[in-house]
Amino acid sequence: MNLDYFFAGSDESHAVFEAVRDAIHSIGTTEVRVSRGQIGFRRDRPFVFAWIPDIYFGRTDIPLVLTIALPRKVDSPRWSQIVEASPGHFMHHLALRKSHEVDAEVVEWLREAWSDAADQR
């Protein structure tokens, strides 16, 4: 699957995604994997997933959600949900409505996730 197919009919979601992708690429090298339900970014292991909530929940006013894997729980009112997937592995869900919401704070979270996704061998 490719990005054009994933975002077919979702121009607003695609625009927000482009801001996310640009931010991640400014941090460092990643691999992008597009599947039917999400787009994953990985280094040595996955660290960010972008998905369109409409696919799962029906029509919403949220074009894109980022799920950011971090080694700690980051307190912020911006998160819509935080789940501890396993000890020391927290999945932070961030609803994004506009490209400008991918700001310096989000870039720092992405940088931390990218750094943590490197093999520590």
Residue-number span of the structural domain to which 15 is assigned = 3-116
Domain for residue 109, yes or no? yes
Domain for residue 27, yes or no? yes
Q: Compute the average pLDDT of residues 60-65.
A: 92
> What token pair was written down for 42?
């990985």
Q: What is the bridge-based pairing of β-strands 39-42 and 31-34?
A: antiparallel
pTM: 0.92
CA dist., res. 22 & res. 43, Å (int)? 16
Strands of the 79-86 sheet, one edge to the other: 31-34, 39-42, 46-51, 64-70, 89-96, 79-86
pLDDT at 120 over 70: no
Predicted confidence (pLDDT) per residue in 72-97, tens digit:
999 999 999 999 999 989 999 999 99
- Overall number of domains in the chain: 1
Domain for residue 121, yes or no? no
Domain for residue 14, yes or no? yes
pLDDT at 55 over 80: no
